[in-house]
Amino acid sequence: MARAAGTPVPHAAAPGAMRMLGQLRTALLARSVTAAGLAAVYRYRDADDVRGDVEGLPAAGLIDKTDDDAIQPTGTGRAVLTEMYKVSADVAGESWASQEGSLAGLSDLAGRLVHAALATGGPAYTAMAPPYEPPDATAALLLHTRVSVLRYHRADAHAAAWQAAGLTSVTMRQLPAGPSRDAIEAQTNRRAGLPYATLSPDERITFLAGLAALPG
């Protein structure tokens, strides 16, 4: 829906590069993203494809590279990212208008989870979290960005589980259904669930039910 709303796209920007910019928006407005962080975020993608998308961003004048190969937005990049946030705020507010009364509480719970997850997150999560939050952010935007980054905590938990089993990102994708995969998924659930222990049982139910009630 946000893409359909028409965030301005620089003429020189390739589609893959713009997709990456959008995926990294919550991080790039808050901090530079290191090469190690990028590798973790895109651990399941072909490294050459990732490199090509990264190179498309400075070519379009959207990011600069630091001496240690981290990336950070240029002035133009920040303007595009800021517009992406505005569009996201509008779309989230419109999509979830029927649940407006619950959004502030849900965004507060999500915020607590985001910060609790910093203690156990891996390289993808620490690259992406905490997300950038504008001073005038609505509850809908806060909820959207906070839930968006929490998935990287689970991604790191999954990677830690298959690495402990001696697998790589390639062999994990090839692993068939069965006891080995079930064990990895169970370990993933255990690791990914750690931040949720900071919420009370009632708060966890409220969070789950509130998210389930959101349209879309």
Query: Residue ranges of the chain with pLDDT lower than 50?
Result: none
| Paired tokens of 74 | 């240029």
- Paired strand residues for 127: none
Residue located via tokens 């998924």? 185
Q: What is the pLDDT of residue 7?
A: 58
Q: At what angle do helices 75-95 and 139-164 cross, to 10 degrees?
A: 100
* Residue 41, both tokens: 């975020």
**pLDDT number for residue 3:** 57
Domain segments of the chain as ranges: 15-212
Measured distance CA(186)–CA(89) in Å, rounded: 35
pTM of the model: 0.91
Query: DSSP character for 196?
Result: G
pLDDT for residue 67:
85
- Give the pLDDT score at 9: 60
Closest CA to 163 of 172, 175, 151, 173: 172
